A and B are shown apart, each in its own frame.
Chain A
Amino acid sequence: MSQSMTINLKIWRQASGAADGGFVAYTVENVLPEMSFLEMLDLLNEQLALKGEAAVEFDSDCREGICGTCGLVIKGTAHGPHAATTTCEVRMRHFHDGETITVEPFRAKPFPILKDLVVDRTAFDRIQQKGGFITANVGSAPDGNAVPIPKTDADKAMDAASCIGCGACVAACPNASASLFVSAKISQLSYLPQGQVERGRRALAMVTQMDAEEFGDCSNHGECEAVCPKEVSIENIARMRREFIKGAFGK
């Protein structure tokens, strides 16, 4: 078994959305390099529980990088220093014995803090509800092979569809823009023949809601693409802009 480490943490604690928050220092011993970052936080919470102290609240679920539930800013970077991983996929071997690690929630005005490291990302759901779908009631679908879709289009749609809705793009953006998230869905459906009918309306409605939620504008920093655990391309944002313009002036 590999050498265990001592890790110093500075974790953002905040009792509720209304309360003031601040960093609290903790030390966790017996951290193994094989542990995931969240297993290290589990260990901290075990130690706190035995002392009768309230656990550090953080969201996580699948712990294999697909559900999009977890999301921490680790050492200043959303989902940590390693590219193309979610917070739950970060392993402690990327840190060294005695290192001090700051841990913060995803910060953005449209993602209010609920408690400690847990934020409310329901703004994403409201954007989705405005047009992130193809209107196809159960019972009305033609045969799956009725409309051929070129492999290259299907692949591009899949690239965009791999977004897990974690919100790291928003947390990393200096403007707290949700453009990468919104553009991924608009792009996915714009590549598919089934998505053509509602194409213009969809882009207009989703972008309008994104603005209403007070996400900032995109100014091409590219931070979103850099932290995206699924490597969703910033090219989608260019596509979203074209879709929006077509939607606004197309008819």
Chain B
Amino acid sequence: MSSSGASRLDAKIPSGPLAEKWDKHEMDNGLVAPANRRKFSVIVVGTGLAGGGAAATLGELGYNVLNFCIQDTPRRAHSVAAQGGINASKNYQYDGDSVDRLFYDTVKGGDYRSREANVYRLSQLSMDIIDQSVAQGVPFAREYGGTLANRSFGGVQVSRTFYARGQTGQQLLLGVYSALSRQVAAGTVKMFPRHEMLDLVVVDGKARGIICRDLTTGELKRYQADAVVLATGGYSPVFYLSTNAVNCNATALWRAHRRGAWFANPCYTQIHPTAVPQMGDYQSKLTLMSESLRNDGRVWVPKKAGDTRRPNDIPEAERDYYLERRYPAFGNLVPRDIAARAAKVECDAGKSAYMSSQSVYLDFNEAIGRLGRDVVADRYGNLFAMYEEILNDNPYETPMMIYPAPHYTMGGLWVDYNLQSTIEGLFVAGEANFSDHGANRLGASALMQGCADGYFVVPRVVANYLAKGGLGEASTDHDAFQEAESSVRGRYDSLLKINGSRTVRDIHWELGRTMWDAVGMARNKGGLDDAITKIGALRDEFWQNLKVPGEGDDMNKQLEMAGRLADYLELGELMARDALAREESCGGHFREEHKTEEGEAKRDDDNFMHVAAWEFKGDGQTAERHVEELSYENIQVKTRSYK
């Protein structure tokens, strides 16, 4: 079932030493002269750090940019929700950090399943992001002397995380939004809020436009450009309950996939160890408690299985601080995949917090004793308040209860070093692509990748693409636009006509359960086979028995959600197939058949040190798996250990 697909999966990594690749590539890239830039137009879908950053920067450079988002304003893209921070290899703390070390930590953190050259570039650009954000007025935390403050995040032994209280994503995004606002005023960026991309238009093998639904009126619209950039985020809501915003969706990616963009490593998902536990089936989302809490919080469960005493009634000697016990070198700050899996192991053994069999404690008692309540409140006050509002429980007095939750997707559309997908002229940035985090992303690296792609990489690689020329006319009257619009219209008309008896939420909930049980923190062949069958049946059920009230030519959020769920029902199956084909454990992908005696992930580098990229073969056909081999020339591939 695998084929090399080598011709299509050429990563186009520049030659030369690792540290010089990006600079050399910059020199080799073509340029578009300032006076010619306004003759080119670029569609950017998404206004988060990657999309908004790319749109603003392309605008600054003088290109015509059409920027789309589903939110009512670009300032609400889901980057806004990132709490803890952004990594950069500044070494302001003089604790041994460097570009090389951030590179090393990221490749190791990703369990040797990311592309060396991409990660090195990310590590190099990380410093420029901090400078750019400060220049824009992002109010990062400061020391009393006026210099930038840092904190630690999981999986590393240096302090390289820059932060703005617990709202780092919001502040970076407002930086992007301000840059974008300036370009809108300057006329280089035209903004289309409340517009959802529902298809990609490919003309003569090149991405030349998109079909959007105006979410206020329901009208379908065609937009044409010389290149298309997708920066539409990840697909965690395939699990229904996740830490993502309720409107996060895979539709733009999935529609592009169906038009020829291969989907890489769809099964690589990040289950974040510290979210507020699930409480009931009425819930619409799970709330994240930032990883930064593990700087001072200690994770534990009762030593005795089935112990239902309240946490403050359990004496110190009867508590198991299992992360500190199992991973003395990194303690509570092990990477996310490891912390999440460790929580599951304890809960599976019957050891949990009292509230539910799927919860563990995150305890600040020691930190409050050591630092005082005021310092703890200064660091984490907003998170404690959020927690208290949800659970009606005061974390200053009793330990928090937490449990892992779907949070981020490392998989995404396959891209080469130039962030170009397998469709010419279609670039993919941020969480939407697959390239930088391998099988597990380290904390505070999502904001880093979004900003690096948006501000620095996309503007340069898109310029190079445009400079090559050869783009013919492609007006919105072209047959390809006609066909794409008709196909979208047919699809949304069908959704409204089913008139069955199950709601979008009901079916989405069922998909989420199946995904969480079989394609969540632990996977095995039997469960995955079963999930593929169940998802197929649920997809049939969806198209026969869905109930969507309201009209198509009107604001109709139930219809929007139905369209997104239809795509999740296809993507979910691909995730299960990808997990099934990857007969190893690596990072967030844990196959129960492949583990060490100590229960850690066991990689198979001989057979799986590659990217799996899936090609869409048509409705009712199984997607075809291709591979891009990964090679590590600058880093020694080891068994990952945080002990």
Contact = CB atoms under 8 A, between A and B. Distances in A.
A and B bind: yes
Interface of A: 1, 16, 32, 34-36, 38-39, 42-43, 45-46, 48-50, 52-55, 57, 59-69, 84-85, 89, 91, 93, 114-115, 118, 120-122, 124-125, 128-130, 132-138, 140-145, 147-151, 154-155, 157-158, 161-162, 164-165, 188-189, 192, 194-195
26 contacts: A49-B547, A50-B501, A52-B547, A55-B557, A57-B556, A61-B245, A61-B247, A68-B75, A122-B193, A125-B73, A129-B184, A133-B178, A141-B131, A141-B132, A141-B134, A144-B131, A144-B133, A144-B148, A145-B148, A151-B143, A154-B139, A161-B171, A162-B170, A165-B76, A188-B137, A194-B137
B144 interface: yes
A150 B147 CA distance: 8
B589 to A, nearest CB: 27
A225 to B, nearest CB: 18
A99 to B, nearest CB: 18
A237 B96 CA distance: 45
Contact of A154 (B141, B174, B193, B385): B141
Given A57-B555, A63-B245, A144 B90 contact: yes
B385 to A, nearest CB: 8
B98 interface: no
The range of chain B's interface size is 35 or more
B167 A162 contact: yes
Contact of B73 (A36, A121, A140, A188): A121
A71 to B, nearest CB: 10
Interface string B427-470: 00000000000000000000000000001100100000000000
B81 A66 contact: yes
Contacts of B167: 66, 162
Interface of B: 56-57, 60, 71-76, 78, 80-81, 90, 92, 128, 130-137, 139-148, 164-165, 167, 170-171, 174, 177-179, 181-182, 184-185, 191, 193, 216, 245-247, 279-280, 282-285, 287-288, 385-386, 389-390, 392, 455-456, 459, 499, 501, 503-506, 547-551, 554-558
Contacts of A130: 185
A188 B139 CA distance: 8
A147 B455 CA distance: 22
Contacts of A49: 503-504, 547-549, 558
Given A67-B76, A89-B389, A151-B146, 11 more contacts: A35-B282, A39-B283, A42-B284, A52-B499, A118-B555, A125-B191, A128-B177, A151-B142, A158-B141, A161-B139, A165-B73
Task: Give the 8 A-B residue pairs with the shortest CB-CB distance, closest first.
Answer: A148-B146, A133-B178, A141-B135, A136-B135, A141-B131, A157-B139, A158-B139, A154-B142
A64 B503 contact: no
B456 A138 contact: yes
Contacts of A118: 555
A39 to B, nearest CB: 5
A138 B146 contact: no
A113 B459 CA distance: 37
Contacts of B181: 125, 128-129, 132-133
Contact of A69 (B71, B141, B179): B71
Contacts of A150: 142, 144, 146
A115 B555 contact: yes
A135 B182 contact: yes
B260 to A, nearest CB: 30
A89 B128 CA distance: 36
A84 B381 CA distance: 13
A65 to B, nearest CB: 7
Contacts, number: 218
Nearest to B283: A39
A90 to B, nearest CB: 9
B182 A129 contact: yes
B285 A63 contact: yes
B386 A65 contact: yes
Q: Interface centre among A48, A62, A85, A143, by most B CB within 10 Å?
A: A62
Given A136-B135, A161-B139, A55 B558 contact: yes
B145 A64 contact: no
Contacts of B130: 144
Nearest to A157: B139
B131 A60 contact: no
Contacts of B76: 61-62, 67-69, 165
A188 B132 CA distance: 17
A155 B167 CA distance: 13
Q: Interface centre among B132, B139, B142, B182, by most A CB within 10 Å?
A: B139
Contacts of A142: 131, 135
Q: Interface centre among B141, B389, B390, B550, by most A CB within 10 Å?
A: B389
A63 B547 CA distance: 25
Given A57-B555, A138-B60, A151 B144 contact: yes
B72 to A, nearest CB: 6
Contacts of B287: 63-64
Contacts of B143: 151
A154 B547 contact: no
A212 to B, nearest CB: 14
Contact of B246 (A52, A63, A121, A151): A63
Contacts of A149: 142, 146
Nearest to A55: B558
B139 A38 contact: no
